[in-house]
A and B are shown apart, each in its own frame.
Chain A
């Protein structure tokens, strides 16, 4: 608990955020984003720290965090892929993309690779159905991409070619 604390710049950001709202508690979501940015995922001590900053019971933070899919309780790895598996995306081939990910990374639904670098999760509609099937990497949209393009990209990424990321982001 004692070693959990925002970096000075994040603490300043946090204080600025709180001032924008009527009550500290209302800043919960943005402050949790800040915490997740620093710690990658939200553990109980991190949530307790946020609770203290926002003058609210830790229970209420735990309660809220569990409700929102974008708050992570486990390390999502360096490269976290999200694929929409809703109506349009499924119709337009989401399952094929998932198969590619499974072949290349050996991960299925909502799991992380053994080395912890990659994770792959199915998510609900991302509001980009005109580009279906829709993929995101670390919460940023990928350009429309076909199976082979996706496979190539994953191969490059596995080999440590991180420069290839900028080529695929939308």
Chain B
């Protein structure tokens, strides 16, 4: 059904918007910023900060734009003298009891109090009184540090734990200016989305322990990407400091179709495997895992495949991008390797709905859906786990290459593929696990933060993973791995950007109706 449209004027700009939205949302459409603290696009309207007061023609009192529905012919002024004075008044009242500890506040640089205060001209405070309301000092509530004194009571966090996680651990106790944010039992937070609280807190009241005092935000570069920790594919923004060359933070990037403004704590904080002790840094060889070179590895693998390709089974992880898979689909048969299976816990694949009713999917890999599509109708059908298991039970296959393993969640492999450890193993992974001990070659993979490519989430949406940090150590993604195999492993010859060609030629045509280049593909992804 076609939505009714409404015409209105905001700050002299005439716009047409959907009926039923608020004046605030209409201002967003018009590209006009209205100051606010409590409004959040993915939470209910609280209407309590009173910062978004605007003047509406023929309405005597100022109205909060977040709770005022648009009307045909409405004329709104968001920055008239009257509106600005009221907004400034509300701001001033916000600051009365707020501690002036910006230099040691971790929110500095992305604090909305600072931003709006600056906007209003850094006026001098009238409040010279010493007797501020004192509230508890900073408390540890699990993954988050809570500083109740900095809290401006916008109720974003309490609405989040009420409406999104429905866990209700955060509450405002008492009333009036004694109102204090706390967890109801003074204990730790009890949901798996706690990191979002630090994101939505407009001030420094809730800060993520993981990021606290790690970096000043203005030193960070940000890259739009997609979380690869499960089949949801939540849209993210990854922060990296080019000086230290390290990743410091993964945050959600709003995408109403996928994750709204949220990501789970796993998606946010599991990035630490990138710098973990067990990260495979160099090609490692033999029982002693002695350091080797890619040149040597490629020579070795080429020799083995030429000798007896039928003895080799390649298992490809569903963590691999479409581009990597498309490359593998062509390169491996070209080398004579026709036995290919997918490496994923099938019992968890295929759910369209998240198991927790929010975002989490049981499948902890990013691209099972893309995998199936890429290999649809392939000349050599990809083996499922059962077929792989059967094959491993026999003697024909003596060698297994497990490619594209990322993170620490492959423990299930030896359980579901009992014959595996009896074979000669080549493992391409980011992190070493005990079961990989027996591998003859242990090859460094890159994480999803260190490569670019596309993945397809459980909803069938094609999304863009973008490299956010430089490749750590000597890791190679599968495309560069295969390039090495093809071209003898000379590092200088590898053109890493060729994945973009693979996307345009091999991937886009499979998923999209219209031609797309890597650059033209939106970071918001494309729904099938």
Q: CB atoms of A and B under 8 A apart anywhere in the complex? A: yes
Q: Tell me the nearest residue of chain A to B169, going by C-beta.
A: A59
Q: Does A92 sit within 8 A of B, measured CB to CB?
A: no
The docked-state distance in angstroms from the alpha carbon of A60 to that of B169 is 9
CB of B401, distance to nearest CB on chain A (Å): 50
Q: Which residues of A contact B170 (CB under 8 A)?
A: 59
Q: Is B306 an interface residue (CB 8 A)?
A: no
CB-nearest residue of chain B to A65: B173
- A58 touching B184, Cβ below 8 Å: yes
Q: How far is the CA of A63 from the CA of B180 in the complex (A)?
A: 10
Query: A residues within 8 A CB of B161?
Result: 59
Shortest C-beta distance, A42 to chain B (Å), equals 12
- CB-based contact A44/B168 at 8 Å: no
A38 close to B (CB within 8 Å)? no
Q: How far is the CB of A49 from chain B (nearest CB, A)?
A: 14
Residues in A whose Cβ lies below 8 Å from that of B185: 44, 58, 62
A118 CB to nearest chain B CB (Å): 25
- Contact between B171 and A59, CB atoms less than 8 A apart: yes
Chain B residue total in the interface (Cβ 8 A): 14
Instruction: Please determine whether B184 and A59 come into contact, CB atoms closer than 8 angstroms.
Output: yes
- Whether, in the assembled complex, A149 has its beta carbon less than 8 Å from a beta carbon of chain B, the answer is no
CB distance A62 to B167 under 8 Å? no
Asked whether, in the complex, the Cβ of A57 is within 8 Å of the Cβ of B175, the reply is no
B172 lies within 8 A of chain A by Cβ: yes
A67 & B175 in contact (Cβ 8 Å cutoff): yes
What are the interface flags for A126-168 relative to B under an 8 Å C-beta threshold, 1 for contact and 0 otherwise? 0000000000000000000000000000000000000000000
Residue A66 interfacial (CB < 8 Å): yes
- Distance to closest chain A CB from B188 (angstroms): 13
Q: Quick check: A63 and B169 within 8 Å, CB to CB?
A: no
Q: Given the complex, which residues of A lie within 8 Å of B214, measured CB to CB?
A: none
Is the CB of B174 closer than 8 A to any CB of chain A? yes
**Chain B residues closer than 8 Å to A60, beta-carbon distance:** 168, 171
A58 proximity list for chain B (CB < 8 A): 168, 184-185
Please indicate the chain A residues that have their CB under 8 angstroms from the CB of B183 in the complex: 59
Contacts of B167 in A (CB 8 A): 57, 59
Chain B contacts of A59 at CB under 8 A?
161, 167-171, 183-184
Q: Which of B134-184 contact A (CB under 8 A)?
A: 161, 166-175, 183-184
The distance in angstroms between the C-alpha atoms of A58 and B173, with both chains bound, is 13
User: What's the Cα separation between A124 and B111 when bound, in Å?
Assistant: 38
CB-based contact B184/A63 at 8 Å: yes
How many Å lie between the Cα of A59 and that of B172 in the bound state? 9
In the complex with contacts A44-B185, A58-B184, A59-B184, A66-B169 CB distance below 8 A: no
The smallest beta-carbon distance between A24 and chain B, in angstroms, is: 16
Interface of B is mostly: loop
Partner of A66, one of B166, B168, B174: B174
- Least Cβ–Cβ distance between B311 and chain A, in angstroms: 59
Which residues of chain B are within 8 angstroms of A57 by Cβ–Cβ distance?
A: 166-168
Query: A111–B172 Cα gap in the complex (Å)?
Result: 24
B168 touches A67 (CB 8 A): no
Query: How would residues 87 to 99 of chain A score, 1 for a CB under 8 Å from any chain B CB and 0 otherwise?
Result: 0000000000000
Q: Which A residues lie within 8 Å of B169 (CB)?
A: 59
| Interface 0/1 of A60-98, CB less than 8 Å to B | 101100110000000000000000000000000000000
Determine the chain A residues whose CB is within 8 A of the CB of B184 once the complex forms.
44, 58-59, 62-63
Report the minimal beta-carbon distance from B138 to chain A, rounded to whole angstroms: 21
A59 to B189, CA, bound (A): 12
Closest to A66 in B: B173
Point out which of B166, B172, B183, B185 has the most chain A C-beta atoms below 10 A from its C-beta.
Answer: B185
A17 CA / B184 CA spacing, docked (Å):
26
Shortest Cβ gap from B193 to chain A (Å): 16
Please name all residues of chain B whose beta carbon is closer than 8 Å to the beta carbon of A62 when the two chains form the complex: 171, 173, 184-185
Give A58 to B172 CA distance when docked, in angstroms. 13
Complex Cα distance, B166 from A57, in Å, reads: 9
For residue A68, which residue of chain B has the nearest CB? B175
What are the residues of chain B within 8 A of A67 when measuring CB–CB?
173-175
User: Within A93-124, which residues are at the interface with B (CB < 8 Å)?
Assistant: none
**How many Å lie between the Cα of A59 and that of B162 in the bound state?**
9
**Nearest B-chain residue to A58, judged by Cβ:** B184
- Complex Cα distance A157/B105, Å? 54
Q: Give chain B nearest CB distance to A15 CB in angstroms.
A: 24
A86 to chain B, nearest CB (A): 16
The answer for the CA separation of A57 and B185 in the assembled complex, in Å, is: 12
Which residue on chain B has the smallest CB distance to residue A45? B185
Q: How far is the CB of A102 from chain B (nearest CB, A)?
A: 24
Give the distance in Å from the alpha carbon of A67 to the alpha carbon of B176 in the complex: 9
Chain A residue at minimal CB-CB distance from B173:
A66
Kindly report which residue of chain B lies nearest to residue A69, judged by CB atoms. Answer: B175
Residues on A with C-beta less than 8 A from B171 are 59-60, 62-63, 66
Chain B positions near chain A (C-beta within 8 angstroms): 161, 166-175, 183-185
Known pairs A57-B166, A62-B173, A66-B175 / 5 extra A-B pairs, C-beta < 8 Å: A59-B169, A60-B168, A62-B171, A62-B184, A63-B184
14 pairs of residues in contact across A and B, judged by CB atoms under 8 Å: A44-B184, A57-B167, A58-B168, A59-B161, A59-B167, A59-B170, A59-B184, A62-B171, A62-B173, A62-B185, A63-B184, A66-B173, A66-B175, A67-B175
Sorted nearest first, the 5 A-B pairs with minimum C-beta distance are: A59-B168, A66-B173, A57-B168, A59-B184, A63-B171
